[in-house]
Structure 1
Amino acid sequence: MVTITQNVQELNQKMKVVHTLGPAGTNCEKAGLLWLEKQKIKGEVVLHKTLEEALPHVKETENSILIGCAVYPYLHDIVFKNLSNLELIDSFIMPTYNMVLAARQEFNLSKGTTIASHPAPANLAQAFSSNIRLVDSNAQAALDCSLGIVDSCITTIKAAEQNNLFIVKDFGEVPMCFTVHARK
């Protein structure tokens, strides 16, 4: 009888590519790098606009996995719409990067301020504005803010720093569950 632990160990030896949510600076990217490190696997993390866009890559190759955040919108669809060809092989808790409200420069927020946010942490924005623009990732929110598409964003501190944004409020790290999916 093969145990789940044996299955994970065998799969881990083969896995070389982690597909997850991008662009650079997402918590999913951080989770992918941590998972490879903890498994002692030399691999790469490939970033996608959405987890849904990453799915075909995982389904088509034996040496790939998908890492998703447990609060990712529609993670349940990724699981249940792919039962015939994907399986959940692992999960782990990791503190996210500090989640922050950031802007291009220091300014006074108002209820009309446009804040970009991934759907998962969007509630953090509601205390500052009712004008929230949903985007595909925390890193995309920072990029949209740096390009002037929105006034401010809810993002990771890493993405804010990468985009030279001013930190308006630091919400700190969030202990978060990440799921690991592999081809059956």
Structure 2
Amino acid sequence: MEVVMELLRIPGVERQALMALFPLDPARSVKIGTLGPEGTSSEHIARMMLRCIGDPENCEITLEDTFERCMDALVDGVIDLALVPHAYSKINAFYMHPGLRPVSVFHGSTPEYGLATRPDFAFDDEVLRTDTVVSHPAPVPMLEHHVAGPVKVATVTSTSQAAGRVADGHYNIALTNEQAVEQYNLRFVQRFSRIPMTWTVFSRKKDGHDHRCA
């Protein structure tokens, strides 16, 4: 729990707001949606968040291909909550949506990011001049601070998908996180850092009322 608290900082009032979203009745389940597939930073933070508030057994994490699909599922009542990082460039649309309500904001550092390849791929710095790095758009600016010279980048919908595209041979190098590196049996060839991030948990508005579990 000490490691969780170090990487996840949820003020008391925000923690109370989160805990209020999870009913005491174990028969009432709560689904929280965020970006998938397995191995994303969003999934990692969602699990840390649940551990921080006591790891309720009646909560299920649902992973979607995009944050927009998370929000569609939230509005439609398929899930109860959605977790989105503030680095996501289109998060403003979720704040403006009349059917959604931000219920908690907190700080959570991602797993370590870096460049990863398949274990059998021969990597050196020169490869970065000719090859393409696959990444989610959000962490791409890290390349400017950790790699000398311009880098050709292809983007996908998540850091986990970037790792998967390297694992299946579509690309040779991914900018991805430690979680996805382990998930897809890759290896880091350059380690960068964790990304300090803030996150919002959204709930659904219905007929002017707050989330049904609040």
For this structure pair, what is the TM-score category when the shorter chain's length is used for normalisation? 0.7 to 0.9
In 1: Cα distance, 2:112 partner to 2:141 partner: 15
**Greater CA radius of gyration, 1 or 2?**
2
Equivalent residue number for residue 201 of structure 2: 180
Say yes or no: does 1:135 pair with 2:156: yes
Distance, in Å, in 1 between the alignment partners of 2:21 and 2:88 is: 24
SS of residue in 2 equivalent to 1:175: coil
TM-score normalised by length of structure 2: 0.76
Task: Give deviations 1:37-79, integer Å, cap 9, x for gaps.
Answer: 2233321111111110111221122861000111012111222
**Which residue of 1 is the match for residue 109 of structure 2?**
95
CA-based RMSD of the aligned residues comes to 2.2
Contact 2:66 2:157 in 1 (8 A): yes
The count of residues paired between Structure 1 and Structure 2 equals: 180
Local SS of the residue matching 2:32: strand
Structure 1 unaligned runs (5+)?
none
Shift in alpha-carbon separation, 1:15–1:88, aligned structure 2, 3 A: farther
Residues 85 and 183 of structure 1 are in contact (CA less than 8 Å); yes or no, is this contact kept in structure 2? Answer: yes
Structure 1 or 2: more strand by fraction: 1
SS in 2 for 1:73: coil
Name the residue aligned to 1:118: 136
CA distance in 1, matches of 2:180, 2:62: 17
55 and 171 in structure 1: CA distance in 2 versus 1, 3 angstrom threshold: same
Q: Is residue 2:26 matched to residue 1:12?
A: no
- Maintained 8 Å contact 1:106/1:168: no
Change (3 A) 1:167 1:5: closer
CA gap of 1:88–1:36, structure 2 versus 1, over 3 A, is same
Q: Secondary structure at the match of 2:74?
A: helix
Percent identity over the alignment?
Answer: 27
Q: Aligned partners of 2:78, 2:186: CA distance in 1, in Å?
A: 39
Gaps of 5+ in 2: 1-12, 206-214
